[in-house]
Amino acid sequence: MKDSKKTKQQKNAKNGNNIKNINKKQNSKSKFANFWSNLFKHDISAFKLRKRFYSIVFISLASLFVLSLAFIILDKSAGIIGYNPSNENEGGWPKQVLAPYADMTSWVPVASSYSDNGVANIAKVSSETGLNYFHFGFIQPDTKKPLDDEGNIRWCWGGYASISENGADSYQYAGIINQMQKLRDNGGDFSISFGGQFGKAPWVVSSDSEKLRNMYLDVINTYSCNRIDLDIEEENQGEEANKINAKAVKMAQDETGVSVSLTIPIMPYGWEEKQIKIIKAYLDAGVNISLINSMTMCYGAGLYSYEDYGDASVRAITNAIRQMQEIYSAYGINLTEKQAYNKTGATMAIGYENTLYPTFTADMAKKVADDAKEKNYGMISYWSINRDAKMESNKGVNTIYEFFNAIKTFA
C-alpha cells in the first residue's frame, strides 16, 4: 500500500511537470506567433507605404524585358547585309520558288548596264523580271592558300582571296555587297552556295569539323544568311569529307537556324550510289535538309531514243522522288509523294554547255517547268542568270531572258 501511494504522488508530480511544460511551450508558441505576426504587420505596412514605388519599378522592369526580347527577335542584321524575310516558308523563301544561280565572280564589262563594279547586276535583273530569289555562287577556299597558319579556312568568292571580307579588292567585292543589299531592299533574298563544279569545296581542304563550323558561322553572320546551299559535285562528293562537313553544318544550323539545301548531280535513272551516300551523310548528322536540288542538266548518251534533255530531266526527278521516299523511310520519316515533290528542286544548265553535252533549249526547260508546276516542286533553277541576261556570250541563248520567259509560269 505504501508503494502504491508513493506511485500516485510521483504520478501527480509528473503530471504537474507536464502541465508546466505544456504551458511553457504554449507561451513559447505565443511569443513565436506574436513575433512573426508583428514582423508581417510591419512588412505589410512598409509594403503599403512603398506600393506605388514597387509598382513603378515592376512596370519599368517588365517593359525593359519586353523591349529586350523584341530586339533579340527582330535584330537579324548583325552582319553587313540587311535582312528582309518574306516568312512564307523555311528560310524565309516561298513554298515554291524560281531561283536561278548567279555567278558572282564572272566578270561583267563595266560598260554594260548589267554590271556593278564588274559584278552581275542582280537588282536590275530582279526589277526587269520580277525574280526575287537567287543563289549566289560560289564560296570556296583561297586557291593559293586554302588554310591559314592555324588551320582556319580562308574562304572567299570563287577561290579569289582578294574577293572577300579580308581581301584587298575593294571594287568587285563592293559590287557583290551592293547587289546583296539592293536585292534585299527590294524585298528579295539570296542563298549563298558553297562548292561548285570547278575548284575545291571547303570540306575538301579541311577535315576539321570545328574549323568548317567556324567558316559557316562566319559566312552566315557576315551576310546575315537565312539560307545556304551546298553544291556538291565533281571531286567534292567524297563520302568521308561530306560526313565531316555534315557535322559542321549541323552545328552551324543548330546555332543559327539557317536553312540548308543540297545540290547534287543526277542521271535520268535517278541518283547514283554516290549521291545517295551524300544525302545519308547529312541525314545521319541530323541536318534538317530543306530541299534536295538535282542538277537536271545535259546527260550526253544517257537518254532514250525518244527523249530530249527536258524529257530526261522529268524522268530523273520522277525516279528521285521514289529514291527520296526510300531514303527518308529508313530514318522513320514517311514522306508522301506530295511531300517529296515539295522537297525537290531541279536545276538546268541552260543554253550551250560543251561538245559532249550540247544545248539545253528553252523548249526543253519548259517541259521541266510544266512538270514542276503540275507536281509542285519546291524549286526550279538554272545555271545561270548571267547567261539568260546575256551578261556573257552563249550560243545556246538567243535573246535576253529567253529561258525565264519560257518557265516563268512556275513562279
Q: Tens digit of pLDDT for each residue in 247-275?
A: 999 999 999 999 999 999 999 999 999 99
- For residue 216, what pLDDT is reported? 98
Higher pLDDT, 137 or 75: 137
Task: List phi, psi (to 5°) of 395.
Answer: -70, -5
Look at residue 107 and tell me whether its pLDDT is greater than 90.
Answer: yes
Report which residue type is found at 2. K
**Residue for cell digits 514542276?**
372
The Cα–Cα gap between 317 and 293 comes to: 10
> Does residue 4 have a cis bond before it (omega within 30 degrees)?
no
Which candidate, 328, 334, 313, 302, places its Cα nearest to that of 380? 313
- For residue 79, what pLDDT is reported? 58
Look at residue 57 and tell me whether its pLDDT is greater than 60.
Answer: no
pLDDT band at 36 (very low <50, low <70, confident <90, very high): very low
The DSSP bridge partners found for residue 267 are 270
The average pLDDT across 320-347 equals: 98
Exposed/middle/buried for residue 234 (C-beta within 10 Å: 0-12, 13-18, 19+)? middle
The Cα–Cα gap between 260 and 250 comes to: 10
pLDDT band at 10 (very low <50, low <70, confident <90, very high): very low
Tell me the percentage of the chain whose pLDDT exceeds 70: 78
Q: Which CATH class is domain 90-410?
A: alpha beta
pLDDT band at 26 (very low <50, low <70, confident <90, very high): very low
DSSP per-residue letters across 323-337 = HHHHHHHTTT----H
The Cα–Cα gap between 104 and 122 comes to: 9
Least reliable range by pLDDT among 41-55, 60-74, 326-340: 60-74
Look at residue 53 and tell me whether its pLDDT is greater than 80.
Answer: no
The average pLDDT across 88-115 equals: 92
CA distance to 210, 213, 294, per residue, from 347 (Å): 31, 27, 6
The Cα–Cα gap between 104 and 384 comes to: 10
Higher pLDDT, 377 or 36: 377
Task: List phi, psi (to 5°) of 88.
Answer: -95, -25
pLDDT in tens, 137-170: 999 999 999 999 999 999 999 999 999 998 988 8
Helix (H) or strand (E) holding 190: strand 189-195
- For residue 16, what pLDDT is reported? 46
The Cα–Cα gap between 290 and 275 comes to: 17
Q: Where are the beta strands (DSSP E) in 254-411?
A: 259-265, 289-295, 344-349, 351-352, 359-360, 379-383
Q: Which residues contact 246 (CB under 8 A, 6 or more apart)?
A: 281, 282, 284, 285, 287
Q: Where are the beta strands (DSSP E) in 80-177?
A: 97-98, 101-103, 115-116, 119-120, 133-141, 155-157
The average pLDDT across 185-202 equals: 97
| C-alpha angle 97-102-105 in degrees, rounded to nearest 5 | 160
The Cα–Cα gap between 179 and 124 comes to: 9
The average pLDDT across 177-200 equals: 97
Look at residue 23 and tell me whether its pLDDT is greater than 70.
Answer: no
DSSP per-residue letters across 277-295 = HHHHHHHHTT--EEEEEEE
The Cα–Cα gap between 255 and 220 comes to: 11
- For residue 354, what pLDDT is reported? 86
